């Protein structure tokens, strides 16, 4: 009870700070004038971000976004688009920030700011049972006889191009497209976020999908924003409070360990 009270008090203080300093930066001005926090997301990277059968955005990233909007005292608006279009949309001020399982990389960080990491993941592989035994190690993928799918403009694409460069690479706009290619036998394996691979293998275990048992890389996930010092500082403080209160851990348990929400997915 005491921890909950402290958390609520901290959120109230953050909300007050945000309201008092709303004229300090372009992104904050935009958010406060519209009374709306616009978050860019793919809506297609469960369990971080996913779209339900009813069209609702859910996932760990969605819960973090809604908690931020509540603390700001504004409404939340999700703008879904292919992963490759998220950073251009942020740079064009079409969204206020990105929460979409995005890895913090030096190249991305040269263009936009990141708060985080709020979670650490890694690359995983997803394949049908017949192929899995030979592909569960990265070196097993590095051959011209293997066709790999990866999300366009993602760290999975970079992984494939640098560490398994001998394999044939097919870039997709979404995970759904990659899964469809896998089921049709047009690719041998998908390289993607470890948690996505684990979740998808669980969802389609009746179709013989198997995921790697452990991450192949280190992937720190962050919240991407354009340069607005006060907004960045606010989000940093908010995430510190979210983590310190235990709320971020609770969110992680809810989404990363599976649950009834899986039945809501298409």
Query: pLDDT tens digits, the chain, 266 residues: what are they?
Result: 545 544 555 555 555 454 444 445 888 899 999 999 999 999 999 999 999 999 999 999 999 999 999 999 999 999 999 999 999 999 999 999 999 999 999 999 999 999 999 999 999 989 988 776 666 555 577 889 889 999 999 999 999 999 989 999 999 999 999 999 999 999 999 999 999 999 999 999 899 898 988 898 999 999 999 989 999 999 999 999 999 999 999 999 999 987 889 999 99
- What residue ranges do the domains of the chain occupy? 2-121+220-264, 123-211
The CATH topology of domain 123-211 is D-Maltodextrin-Binding Protein; domain 2 (3.40.190)
Options 3.40.30.10, 1.10.1200.10, 3.40.50.300, 3.40.190.10; which CATH number does 2-121+220-264 get?
3.40.190.10
Please check whether residue 94 is in contact with residue 79, taking contact to mean a CB–CB distance below 8 angstroms. yes
Query: Within 10 Å of residue 264's Cβ, how many Cβ atoms?
Result: 14
Enclosing H/E stretch for 115: strand 113-121
The SS3 of residue 148 is strand
User: In angstroms, how far is the first alpha carbon of the chain from the final one?
Assistant: 37
What is this structure's pTM?
Answer: 0.85
Identical fold, 2-121+220-264 and 123-211 = yes
């Amino acid at each position: 009870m005491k921890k909950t009270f402290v958390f609520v008090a901290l959120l109230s203080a953050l909300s007050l700070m945000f309201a008092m300093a709303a004229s300090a930066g372009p992104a904050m001005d935009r958010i406060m004038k519209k009374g709306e926090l616009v978050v860019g997301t793919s809506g297609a990277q469960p369990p971080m971000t996913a779209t339900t059968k009813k069209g609702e955005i859910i996932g760990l990233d969605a819960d973090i976004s809604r908690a931020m909007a509540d603390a700001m005292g504004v409404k939340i608006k999700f703008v879904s688009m292919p992963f490759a279009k998220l950073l251009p949309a942020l740079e064009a001020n079409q969204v206020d920030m990105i929460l979409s399982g995005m890895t913090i990389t030096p190249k991305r960080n040269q263009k936009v700011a990141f708060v985080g990491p709020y979670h650490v993941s890694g690359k995983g592989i997803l394949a049908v049972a017949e192929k899995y035994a030979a592909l569960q190690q990265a070196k097993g993928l590095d051959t011209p006889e293997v066709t790999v799918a990866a999300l366009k403009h993602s760290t999975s694409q970079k992984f494939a191009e640098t560490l398994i460069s001998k394999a044939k690479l097919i870039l997709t706009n979404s995970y759904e497209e990659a899964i469809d290619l896998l089921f049709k036998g047009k690719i041998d394996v998908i390289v993607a976020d470890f948690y996505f691979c684990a979740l998808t293998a669980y969802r389609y275990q009746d179709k013989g999908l198997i995921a790697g048992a452990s991450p192949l890389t280190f992937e720190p996930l962050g919240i991407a924003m354009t340069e607005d010092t006060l907004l960045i500082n606010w989000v940093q403080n908010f995430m510190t409070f979210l983590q310190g209160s235990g709320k971020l851990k609770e969110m992680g348990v809810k989404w990363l360990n599976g649950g009834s929400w899986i039945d809501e997915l298409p």
